Amino acid sequence: MLDAAAEKRANRWHACALYSLIALIALCLAWELWLAPAFPGQWWPALKVLPLFIPLRGVYKRNIYTMQWSSMFILLYFTEGVVRGYSDLNRLSVHLAQAEIALVLLYFLACLLYLRPYKQAAKRAAKEALARARAQARESSQEAAP
């Protein structure tokens, strides 16, 4: 489906997406449990990490559909990073929010750049199939004409 150069680039973007997702999970856990928890002594804010495990298997296996929906889903964590970056008074928490924003944007960009050649190839295949169908329709209409 992809040529060798495009496959190599896709491999790099896939690795970038996978590692940024894993880093985001680690950052959020460390943030809420040890570094600068929103509610000191409470463990339940760390549950925000659980939804990040849902796309992890699909991203690891290079599932295109998972990479598509997770690139939109991850933007919830971008929103959280922006809100906490502007509202938290703890300086460390602000820096952690900035790191969260950076990891989310890295994941989002890596997903888009990983998916781009596959989307282009699918679009080309659809155009070719449409052109073949139109050609067959023209041939059959010419054969049916007396």
Domain membership of residue 103 as a residue range? 4-115
Summarize pLDDT for 89-132 with one digit per residue, the tens. Answer: 999 999 999 999 999 999 999 999 999 988 888 899 999 999 89
The verdict on residue 94 lying in a domain is yes
The verdict on residue 20 lying in a domain is yes
Summarize pLDDT for 3-12 with one digit per residue, the tens. Answer: 888 889 999 9
The verdict on residue 146 lying in a domain is no
> What's the number of domains the chain is made of?
1
> How many CB atoms are located within 10 Å of the residue 121 CB?
14
Summarize pLDDT for 28-51 with one digit per residue, the tens. Answer: 999 999 998 878 888 888 899 999
Instruction: Please spell the DSSP secondary structure of 32-84, one letter per residue.
Output: IIIIS-SSTT--GGGGGGHHHHTTHHHHHTT-HHHHHHHHHHTHHHHHHHHHH
The verdict on residue 109 lying in a domain is yes
The span from the CA of 127 to the CA of 63, in Å, is 23
Model-level pTM?
Answer: 0.86
The verdict on residue 60 lying in a domain is yes
